[in-house]
Amino acid sequence: MSARPPVQAAAKEQVARLLTLVPFLHARGQVRLEDAARALGVDPEQLVRDLKVLLMCGLPGGYPDDLIDVDLDALEGEEGDGVIRVSNADYLARPLRLSPTEATAIIVALRALRNGAGDDTREVVDRALSKLEAAAAEGSAAAQIDPGDEPPAPDLSRLEARLREAAEQRRQVHLSYYVPSRDEQSERTVDPRGVVTAHGFAYLDAWCHSAEAPRLFRLDRIHEAEVLDRPIETPPEAPRDLGDGLFSRSADTTTVTLHLGPAARWVVEYYPVEEVRPQDDGSLEVDLLVADERWLQRLLLRLAPHARVVSPQEFTESFLTAARATLSLYS
Amino acid sequence: MSGMAARKSERLLNLLIMLLVQRHYVSKERIRAILYPDSSHEGFEKMFERDKEELRSLGVPIEVGNMDPLFDDEPGYRIPPDRFALPDVNLEADEAAVIGLATRVWGHARLAEATTEAVRKLTALGVPLDVSALDIAEPRLSADEPSFDVFWEATQERCPVEFEYRRAGQATAATRHVQPWGVVRYSGRWYAVGLDTDRGEERVFRLSRVQGTARRAGKPGSYDVPPGTDVRATARRLAPAPVTERAVVLVRAGAGLALRRNADAVEAGVPGPDDRTGWDRVTVSRSGPGLADELLGYGADVVVEEPAELRARIIERLAAVEGAVDGAVSGEEQG
């Protein structure tokens, strides 16, 4: 975003929120403050501040009847029931049309979804797309942005459906799972909690009876999954929300600082990094939490020679040793 | 939010309502008298310009017209309700459900936000949601290239851009001038398609090869995309075809499970570079780039036999590790 003074950006965003809030309320009659805040992705206190702005707006006559009416007592008063009531705003009853960027973003996203849909669902996506394309017309560049037609790994949707079902039915699953950091195939029994998506990958969140701890299993690394007839042994739990950071911090992680040349910059998009410090020459210095040194070695080798360890020093030595040992096999 | 911002929000929204509810154009004088009563002439002009721009940037269509057909020197303003409001979309429950899923597709903060905002508008009037029946694998569209946003916006606004571009196999970048026609994802990468105005020909540019950020170099709406342009077909015609790399590698017994799992062939118990373990010969194919990276990740458990070019590339990269680490250390000492 450009360096716009915060006052202006804040006012513009507030107007945008109000233009969606009024139709939302108008269509539903009375809505509880918390429910409206959740549906619109706004903090409840901000929503009250937005409503106070609305109270000062209305038809250009200057009479009290011209203003939009908001029952603030219901929201702030001691006796308030927490329900939003807005009236006298019929001219804002319809939402603002989609901006060109919004129209393009949602249409391109739907086209990408279409690639991963089964036949029945594809028909639904096509219906939704044709309605959106008709509604979006003006200024959208959707026809010029093409997400390609590569389907996401097709067999994972079936696996995902089976694992979700097992979690719902609270049945144990036997997994044959590939652990890349150890280059190992492992067999384990888990209590599935659900399937979650983060950083472009789907994960099974489950209690692992081998590790005796909750673990995430990337679906594309599950070699075989057999849903067992046995019920889960641990208390059922909802899958973790991975929205804010992929892996919760465990006690035995080390913060490692890496220097990434331009060819290795993609790392920050694929792994949860703690901090990124861009350097003048286009390279990056990043801090990341490493739980398993073998994982780090493998990553450094993959990136060779575009990444090096800034600290701690001992990882530089083990990386050099690994690179030399590999190189010696070629002589 | 500060009181100043709240007052400005009120002014913007009151301006919007005023222009929306009038059937005819509203004169500047009337707008000034009602909404900007305390401003000087100059202050009003400046503020009014900015407010109009901000409403327009939200997508509010403000039309300018003449108040009186006989005098063309007095402009008036209005917001036509049918262009202001979202048309009736009438989504079915299953359509609303796939639209809800669309919010999870973009791995790009600004576009994810724009998609979410679009969904809020589309569902503001109340749509039943039903996600239960969908058979769908959720894809994820990432766009990490720093110049992606510039090309996206330039395509949308038909605005020429210039940028430094390094062609495959070339060490240095050259400045290019392009009228973007579209942005296309093809075999896992984003490309810009457009008219190269220096060469007078259509070209594709891999966004990951754009050095630094692209810049706007002209006015919005300053060209038209040739009618009938199919950006996907153009990208496929001009972009290099995805390559399948095939390699024969020696893998230590018991290691390289992911390589063995989808190998073309495995020959067990062959002579290897050391006697510490047994070795197997594994043939693998990979489409797209990254085979060298993948093989390097196995360290001293995998040795490339063929092709010679891949073997040489791996040796070169491993040999360069020493220099990269040493160079950095001595650099730090000097600096």
Do both A88 and A14 map to the same domain? yes
| pLDDT confidence of residue A1 | 39
Are both A75 and A125 inside the same structural domain? no
Which residues of chain B lie closer than 8 angstroms to A15, CB-CB? 9, 12-13, 16, 54-55, 58
Pairwise CA distance, residues B260 & B302, whole Å: 12
Q: Which two tokens stand for residue A161?
A: 């459906």
Q: Are B185 and A146 in contact (CB under 8 A)?
A: yes
Contacts of A327 in chain B (CB under 8 A): 315, 318-319
CATH code of the domain in which A190 resides: 2.30.30
Examine the domain organization and report whether A13 and A35 are in the same domain: yes
Q: What residues of chain B lie within 8 A of the CB of A109, using their CB? A: 102-103, 105-106, 111, 115, 141
Which is more confident, A148 or B296? B296
Looking at per-residue pLDDT, the higher value among A297 and A240 belongs to: A297
- Residue A174's pLDDT is what? 94
pLDDT in tens, A168-187: 999 999 998 888 777 778 89
Residue A202 maps to a domain: yes
Residue B176 in tokens: 């290019």
How many independent structural domains does chain A possess? 4
> For residue range B322-332, what is the model confidence (pLDDT) as tens digits?
887 765 544 33
Q: How many CB atoms lie within 10 A of CB A50?
A: 22
> Is A36 in the same domain as A76?
yes
Is the pLDDT confidence value at A244 over 90?
A: no
The shortest C-alpha distance from B283 to chain A (Å) reads 18
> Edge-to-edge strand order for the sheet containing B265-270?
B265-270, B279-287, B244-252, B302-306
- Report the pLDDT value the prediction gives residue A202, as an integer from 0 to 100: 78
Residue A172 lies inside a defined structural domain of this protein: yes
Q: Verify whether the Cβ–Cβ distance B323 to A305 is below 8 Å.
A: yes
Partnered with residue B186 across adjacent β-strands are B189
Whether A98 sits inside 8 A of B328 (CB atoms) is: no
Instruction: Return the DSSP state at B169.
Output: T
Residue A104 lies in a domain: yes
pLDDT digits (tens, 9 = 90+) for B249-288: 999 998 888 888 778 899 999 999 999 999 999 999 887 6
Which of residues A269 and A325 earns the better pLDDT score?
A: A325
**Do the domain assignments include residue A34?**
yes
Q: Going by C-beta distance under 8 Å and a sequence separation of 6 or more, which residues neighbour residue A310?
A: A257, A258, A259, A285
CB atoms within 10 A of CB A301: 23
Task: Supply the pLDDT for residue A2.
Answer: 41
What is residue B283's three-state secondary structure? strand
CATH number assigned to the domain comprising residue A34: 1.10.10
A53-57, A266-270, B117-121: least confidently modelled range = A266-270
What is the model's pLDDT at position B70?
A: 61
Which A-chain residues 173-232 have CB contacts (< 8 A) with chain B? 178, 180, 183-185, 197, 199-200, 202, 223
pLDDT of residue A184: 78
| Last residue in a domain, options A231, A262, A286 | A231
A246 or B25: which leads in pLDDT: B25
B170 vs A12, more confident: A12
Q: Which of A117-126, A316-325, B63-72, B225-234 has the lowest mean pLDDT?
A: B63-72
Residue B312 banded pLDDT, cuts 50, 70, 90? very high
CA distance B190 to B145: 8
Q: How far is CA B189 from CA B7, B172, B204, in A?
A: 46, 21, 12
φ, ψ for residue A310, nearest 5 deg? -85, -45
Please check whether residue A38 touches B, CB under 8 A.
no
Of residues A269 and B40, the one with the higher pLDDT is B40
Mean local confidence (pLDDT), B296-318 = 93
**CATH label, B143-238, candidates 1.10.3470, 2.30.30, 2.60.40, 2.40.128:** 2.30.30
pLDDT of residue A152: 57
Residue with tokens 């009847």: A65
Report whether pLDDT(B213) > 50.
Answer: yes
On whether residue A59 sits in a domain, the answer given is yes
Instruction: Flag the least confident range among A142-151, A167-176, A193-202, B3-12.
Output: A193-202
pLDDT of amino acid A5: 46
Same domain, A80 and A15: yes
Task: Note the helical H segments in chain A.
Answer: 6-28, 33-40, 44-54, 73-76, 100-115, 119-136, 156-168, 267-270, 293-303, 313-328
pLDDT score of A191: 95
| B59: nearest CA partner in chain A | A99
Chain B CB contacts of A108 below 8 Å: 111, 141
CATH number, domain of A321, equals 3.30.70
pLDDT number for residue B171: 67
Q: What's the whole-number average pLDDT of chain A?
A: 85
A331 pLDDT band, cuts 50/70/90, is confident
Question: Each residue of B86-107: pLDDT tens digit?
Answer: 998 889 988 998 998 888 888 7
Residue ranges of domains in chain B: 3-84, 143-238, 244-326
What the block records as the tokens of A270 is: 């694929």
- Least trusted range by pLDDT, from B32-36, B103-107, B207-211: B103-107
**Domain boundaries, position A54:** 6-92
- Average pLDDT of chain B is 86
B201, two tokens: 């020909």
The whole-angstrom distance between residue B77's C-alpha and the CA centroid of its chain comes to 35
What is the DSSP pairing of strand B26-27 with strand B71-78?
antiparallel
User: How much of chain B exceeds pLDDT 90, in percent?
Assistant: 56
Q: In this complex, which of A128, A297, A302 lies closest to B91 when CB atoms are compared?
A: A128
pLDDT of residue A41: 87
Q: What is the CATH number of domain B3-84?
A: 1.10.10
pLDDT above 60 (res A263):
yes
How much is the pLDDT for A219? 87
pLDDT of residue A245: 45
Q: With pLDDT > 70 as the criterion, what percentage of chain B qualifies?
A: 88
Q: Does A116 touch chain B (CB under 8 A)?
A: yes
Contact across the interface for B87 and A105, Cβ inside 8 Å: no
Residue A79, H or E segment: none
Residue at A248 is within a domain: no
- Quote the pLDDT of residue B335: 30
User: Tell me: the pLDDT tens digits for A69-111?
Assistant: 999 889 887 888 999 999 999 999 999 999 889 999 999 999 9
Whether the Cβ atoms of residue B279 and residue B253 lie closer than 8 Å to each other = yes
Is A88 in a helix, a strand, or coil?
Answer: coil
Mean pLDDT of B190-198: 95
What pLDDT, on a 0 to 100 scale, did the predictor assign at position B324?
77
Closest chain A residue by Cα to residue B193: A144
A-facing residues of B in 9-68 (CB < 8 A) are: 9-10, 12-14, 16-18, 20-21, 34-35, 50, 54-55, 57-60
Predicted confidence at residue B332, as pLDDT, reads: 39
Q: Report the pLDDT value the prediction gives residue A77, as an integer from 0 to 100.
A: 79
Would you say residue A238 lies in a domain? no
Average pLDDT over residues A297-312: 92
Model confidence at A113: pLDDT above 60: yes
**What was the pLDDT predicted at B125?**
85
pLDDT exceeds 70 at position A52: yes
Please indicate if any CB of chain A lies within 8 Å of the CB of B125: yes
**Reported pTM:** 0.65
- pLDDT for A243 beyond 70: no
